[in-house]
Amino acid sequence: MTFSRTTAVAGIASAAAIGLLLTGCTSAGNASDDGGDTELTVTTFGTFGYDDLYAQYESDHPGVTIKATNIDTGGNARTDLFTKLAAGSGVSDVVALEEGWLGSVMEVSDQFVDLNDFGGADIASRWVPWKLDQGTDADGRLIGYGTDIGPQGLCYNAPLFEAAGLPSDRASVAELFGGDDATWEEYFDLGRQYQAATGKAWFDQPSFVWNSMVNQLPEGYYTSDGELNIEGNADLEERWGWLTQGVADGLSAQQARWDWGGGKGFVDGSFATFVCPGWMLGVLQGNTESGGGSAATGWDFADVFPGGASNWGGAFLAVPATSEHQAQAAELAAWLTEPAQQVAQFEAAGTFPSTTEAQETLAADATPNEFFQGAPVGAILAERAQGVEAQFKGPNDSVIQENVFQAVLDRVDTGELNAETGWAEALKLTDELVDQ
């Protein structure tokens, strides 16, 4: 029984540790200034496609280094942001905000700088007006520069369509779903037809379809006056009925969202359609690739969406009041949201721009996207953005979306709840989780 070695190791480690503690306790982990070099931290979520832009900005601005963090989902990013806001530190110099939790951010908008103080007013004309309004708080302070919006088209897997005897080229698929008059009823009917022919599911899991349906309405979980608007909302109930019927008919592949088995679900033919806001294109591609797939897997993007124009999601870049480099952070945020960069972001991640100029560029651009079977993704999204309007987002919009409806739909998906019990559970959960 000898302890000499452990003791010796412990001794050395402790000597080193004490030395490090003296420095470690006082030096912040981020944002350290030495000799004029500025380190800007940026936190994004989902798929932002900023990596190349960071590199470009760094080379254009010697002395600035960018340290980027990306969080998987909007929900986790929201928790992260609010924990850091509460901690009073740790929020990145530039932080991405999701449209869905803008409502709760606006309640503490004084924790972010007014970008108008940093030249925001001069560039305000960049954005489509509703996006600019969304990023402005009740006192007229500009909290966030818009990055992207989420016009929705329909992703579908061409080989699976073919195998089921459905048309598989983009134009015919758009036609199949009803073109400009596409409806959800038609979407689910086609699903049942597909399911009968192949025995396979139509969509990955119901909650994304539901998000699309809700975001399509002029008013979602809240009225435009900020009143909660779920109970007795005929529009929501009708859509709930369509969707839960579809699940009951076996149209859902019961995949785990944001996981899809590490992307496998996109590759193995589990489901044939997928609702695609612009930013989702990057998610789909990334997952397909990490699941071992490629362009040859056959995902395509059609210029059609059930129920008409829909906008799901979109983001903003904000600078927290705690940032030690507010001016430089605001400058970076402004640069990242310039039309040219928005186009570059679109090319990297499929996120559809929120500036008029960038939208026009994409509308005129028919560059085929290799992954999506050569679909002119930009032009299609520009088309899908026609008629999109901002929906009012209440303070608990994202809680209702994620902790109420997604949670309940997961249970509907497994058959634990049905249309009626699920709706009742959703109302009950809303009541319990949302302080009114």
Partner 1 sequence: MSTLLTRTPRRAQPRRRSRAVGIDARPGFLVYGLLTAILLGSAYPLWWSFVMGSSESSARGDTWPPLLPGGRFWINVGEVLDSVPFWLALGNSLIISSVITVSVVFFSTLAGYSFAKLRFRGNTALMVVLVATMAIPTQLGIIPLFMLMREWGWTGQIGAVVVPTLVTAFGVFFMRQYLVDVIPDELIEAARVDGASMIGTFWHVALPAARPAMAILALFTFMTAWTDFLWPLLVLNSSNPTLQTALSQLQSARYVDYSVVLTGAILSTIPLLVLFLIAGKQLISGIMQGAVKG
Partner 2 sequence: MSVTLSRPRRPRATKPETDAAAPDRASPSARSPLKQRLSRLDVKASPYLYIAPFFVLFGLVGLFPLGYTFVVSLFDWRLLQGQGEFVGLDNFAAVLGDRFFWNSLFNTVSIFVLSSIPQLVAAVLIAAVLDQNIRGKTFWRMSVLLPYIVTPVAVSLIFTNMFNEQYGLINNVLGALGLDPVMWKTEQLPSHLAIATMVNWRWTGYNALILLAAMQAVPRDIHESAALDGAGAVRRFFSMTVPSIRPTLIFVIITSTIGGLQIFTEPRLFDPVTAGGSARQFQTTVLYLWEMAFFRQNFGEASAIAWLLFLIIVGLGALNFFIARRISSAESRRATRRIRRRLAQLKGQPADRMEDHS
Residues at the contact surface with partner 1, assessed by CB under 8 A: 1-3, 5-7, 9-10, 13-14, 16-18, 20-21, 24-30, 41, 43, 47, 67, 69-73, 76, 80, 83-84, 86-90, 92, 258-259, 261-264, 267-268, 283, 286-287, 289-292
CA atoms 339, 340, 345, 348: torsion sign: positive
Number of residues written out for the chain: 436
Q: What is the rounded distance in angstroms from the CA atom of residue 140 to the CA atom of residue 118?
A: 14
Return the number of the residue (67 or 200) whose C-beta is nearest partner 1. Answer: 67
- Give how far Cα 428 sits from Cα of 240, 368, 394, Å: 16, 47, 18
**Could you tell me if 178 and 304 are in contact, meaning their C-beta atoms sit under 8 angstroms apart?**
yes
Instruction: Give least dist CB 31 to partner 2, A.
Output: 22
Q: Which amino acid is at 196?
A: A
Return the number of the residue (178 or 269) whose C-beta is nearest partner 1. Answer: 269
Return the number of the residue (74 or 153) whose C-beta is nearest partner 1. Answer: 74
Return the number of the residue (23 or 436) whose C-beta is nearest partner 1. Answer: 23
- 13 interface partner picked from partner 1, partner 2, none, CB below 5 to 8 A per type: partner 1
- 406 interface partner picked from partner 1, partner 2, none, CB below 5 to 8 A per type: partner 2
Contacts of 294 (CB under 8 A, 6+ apart): 288, 371
Instruction: Give least dist CB 348 to partner 1, A.
Output: 12
Instruction: Give least dist CB 31 to partner 1, A.
Output: 9
Neighbours of 60 (CB within 10 A): 9
Instruction: Give least dist CB 259 to partner 1, A.
Output: 6
**Could you tell me if 334 and 120 are in contact, meaning their C-beta atoms sit under 8 angstroms apart?**
yes
Instruction: Give least dist CB 74 to partner 2, A.
Output: 11
Binding site for partner 2 (CB under 8 A): 72-73, 75-76, 78-79, 82-83, 85-86, 107-108, 111, 254-259, 261-262, 264-265, 270, 399, 403, 406-408, 410-411, 414, 416, 432-433, 435
Instruction: Give least dist CB 287 to partner 1, A.
Output: 5
- 138 interface partner picked from partner 1, partner 2, none, CB below 5 to 8 A per type: none
Return the number of the residue (62 or 88) whose C-beta is nearest partner 1. Answer: 88
- 255 interface partner picked from partner 2, partner 1, none, CB below 5 to 8 A per type: partner 2
H or E element in which residue 82 lies:
helix 74-87
Q: Rounded to the nearest 5°, which phi and psi values hold at 293? A: -100, -175
Q: CB under 8 Å, gap of 24 or more: what pairs does 82-91 form?
A: 85/111, 85/320, 88/322, 89/28, 89/322, 90/30, 91/43, 91/320, 91/322, 91/323
- 265 interface partner picked from partner 1, partner 2, none, CB below 5 to 8 A per type: partner 2
Q: How many helices (H) and strands (E) does the chain have?
A: 19, 8
Instruction: Give least dist CB 369 to partner 2, A.
Output: 27
- 296 interface partner picked from partner 2, partner 1, none, CB below 5 to 8 A per type: none
Which is nearest to 380 in space by CA: 423, 346, 334?
346
Q: What is the rounded distance in angstroms from the CA atom of residue 134 to the CA atom of residue 138?
A: 10
- 335 interface partner picked from partner 1, partner 2, none, CB below 5 to 8 A per type: none
Q: What is the rounded distance in angstroms from the CA atom of residue 389 to the CA atom of residue 221?
A: 15
